[in-house]
Chains A and B, each alone.
Chain A
Amino acid sequence: MATEARAVRLGSAVRRGVGQSVLLTLPMVVWSLLMFFHPGAATDRNSVIAAGVTMAFMVALFFLMMRTGNTYRWRRVFFVALGLLFPVGFIYQAIHFRGSMGIPMEEMIAGRTPFCFMPIPMLILPAALTRTVVFPGSIVGVGGMSGAGIAAMVGLWLALTLVLGRGWCSYACFFGGIEEGMASAPKKATIRKIDPRWRLGPWAVLLAMVLLSLALFEPAYCEWLCPFKAVSEYLAARNTVGLLQNALFVVLFAGLVVVLPLLTKKRTQCSCFCPFGAFQSIFNKTSVFDVRIDKERCKPCVACQTACPTMSLSKESIARGETLLSCTKCGACVDACPRGAMNWHVKGTEAAANPERARLLFLYAAWALAVMFGGSILAQGIRTILHFVL
């Protein structure tokens, strides 16, 4: 009876008073000020307004996480905004620098193809064997759309991966938000039963793309399969093959990022296709944070499994008291559990040892990086909108 009462009490998230929530949010206010208004930050009107709005947005969401005890609900707001605003800022930049979303051959030869994190796993083997980067960018930035260059993106990815593991896919990926927004739109899933073997999809795509990139010495995933080319940039089609590549991008985007998430309420691209996600899963082994299940409290109602947007829980894993390797630490299962059996967890501690402490430690680290990386992308998107509105 006592255990039952405790479980019900813990089943609802840890709600805090306004004062305590403000105190817990203060470090994030200081951090956000440092990130958005540091010396050297742009001082034009649009940039200052965009930085202020983004800072208020990120701080407000963190405050709500502290106040309500819910993680997923508020993180999702940030993540969907990131997914929607990234294309706004990026496409504007592409049109500003080269007049089109298409990457012409000239820009590739000049090393000005912007480098995102997606091809990182495909570049490792060619680089290790021949010291060659099989991507038409530049190691350090050379102006135009090259940004800060390949080395900067890889450096950033390394640092964020140390902290987040596959949490990258819920706090840093600037593509996943579109899909998460789609998955959240319907009240109920039309397709409820998904064959668990689809979870192997990302690993199969990863293996195929790694081998193909090594054999052909080209970023095969970027050239043929990236669904997000449809909302960022595409290969300026020079021939029938180019047209086919661009058609594939659009079909994959429409299917995996729009239609299937609407039908299944799952992030289908992330959980069944994305090779970077599979690669990032490996780093969940090195991350100190994870989500565990208190088996004493768990009455397998599978509410967590239903809520998980990346299919990272199975009946077997629930029985073992853990999530699958693909867990993105989004917090959906923790928030959904009616008995408080799903817990944020620090490895090495007991499954139910002070989950709120584990949650706070993880959120300070993850949100700090979300403010730094995602925040700058949000600010760029808002600045672009202001450019047209004001």
Chain B
Amino acid sequence: MKLRARLGYVAAGATVLVALLTPFLLYGMFAKGVVALGLHVDEIYSGGPKVRTIQMSGYSIDVHGVVTPHMLQRETAFVQMDWRPVTALPAHVSDLVDVDGDGKPDVRVSFDVPRDPKAPLRVNVEALNPRYEGMRNEGKERYSKLIVRVDDAVLVRVPVVGR
């Protein structure tokens, strides 16, 4: 048998071995390898890293860092704020929020919290700082401009002007 043919059969045997090792070793090993690459899900979806928590009476507001779109992405820059826990929120929320942490309120966010978790949410945002864009009766049309309920939090995303 020629060397090339021998190598071919060795490779074929190795392929069978790879198949047999897949569920016990390789699948997990490759998955861990992908995790080790340090990839992250696009912040347009995940909302960016949390930078500060503001304590309110009975609930808190997590403020995230500004998320800017990539290349031709069809969204504008935004900042996300999470009100949690939902169970501690009053029936109507109207909070002044210092988004950039300079000690001055930047936006007033107002929304109703219906008891039915599947009921649609609407939000009004009054911009007190021209860096942020106001919103009127907004639902969830775009990732960069929305109010949604995710698990035990109400998430509001406010567009950032000029980013």
Contact = CB atoms under 8 A, between A and B. Distances in A.
Contacts of B71: 214-217
Given A131-B39, A132-B42, A159-B22, A347 B11 contact: yes
Interface string B28-52: 1111111101111111111100000
A346 B34 CA distance: 30
Interface centre among A139, A159, A349 (most CB of B within 10 A): A159
Interface stretch (B54-62, B83-91, B125-133, B148-156): B148-156
Interface SS of chain A: helix, strand, loop or mixed? helix
Contacts of B9: 346, 348-349, 361
B5 A106 contact: no
A155 B31 contact: yes
A151 B40 CA distance: 11
Interface in A131-187: 131-140, 148, 150-152, 154-156, 158-160, 162-163
Interface string B1-32: 01011111101110110111011001111111
A160 B22 CA distance: 8
Given A137-B41, A160-B22, A217-B73, A109 B47 contact: yes
Given A288-B12, A288-B15, A155 B40 contact: no
Contact of B30 (A140, A158, A239): A158
A152 B155 CA distance: 28
Interface in A277-293: 287-289
A327 B92 CA distance: 61
A368 B74 contact: no
B141 interface: yes
Nearest to B9: A346
A210 to B, nearest CB: 14
Contact of B39 (A35, A132, A238): A132
A26 to B, nearest CB: 15
A365 interface: yes
A214 to B, nearest CB: 7
A349 to B, nearest CB: 4
Nearest to A361: B12
B108 interface: no
Given A106-B148, A140-B35, A155 B28 contact: yes
Nearest to A158: B30
B42 A106 contact: no
A3 interface: no
B119 interface: no
A337 interface: no
B143 to A, nearest CB: 8
Interface string A50-86: 0000000000000000000000000000000000000
Contacts of A364: 16, 19
Contacts of A137: 41
B30 A154 contact: yes
Interface string A196-239: 00000000000000000011111000000000000000000011
Given A349-B8, A350-B5, A155 B39 contact: no
A365 B151 CA distance: 43
Given A111-B46, A133-B39, A369-B19, A347 B73 contact: no
A189 to B, nearest CB: 34
A131 B37 contact: yes
Interface of B: 2, 4-9, 11-13, 15-16, 18-20, 22-23, 26-35, 37-47, 69-74, 140-141, 143, 146, 148-151, 155
Q: Which 3 residue pairs are nearest across A and B when measured between Cβ atoms?
A: A348-B8, A155-B31, A155-B30
Interface of A: 31, 35, 105-106, 108-111, 126-127, 130-140, 148, 150-152, 154-156, 158-160, 162-163, 214-218, 238-239, 287-289, 346-350, 353, 358, 361-362, 364-366, 368-369, 372
28 contacts: A31-B20, A109-B45, A131-B38, A132-B39, A134-B42, A139-B34, A139-B35, A154-B30, A155-B34, A156-B30, A156-B31, A159-B30, A163-B15, A163-B19, A217-B70, A217-B73, A218-B73, A238-B141, A289-B12, A346-B5, A346-B8, A349-B4, A361-B12, A364-B16, A366-B19, A368-B19, A369-B22, A372-B23
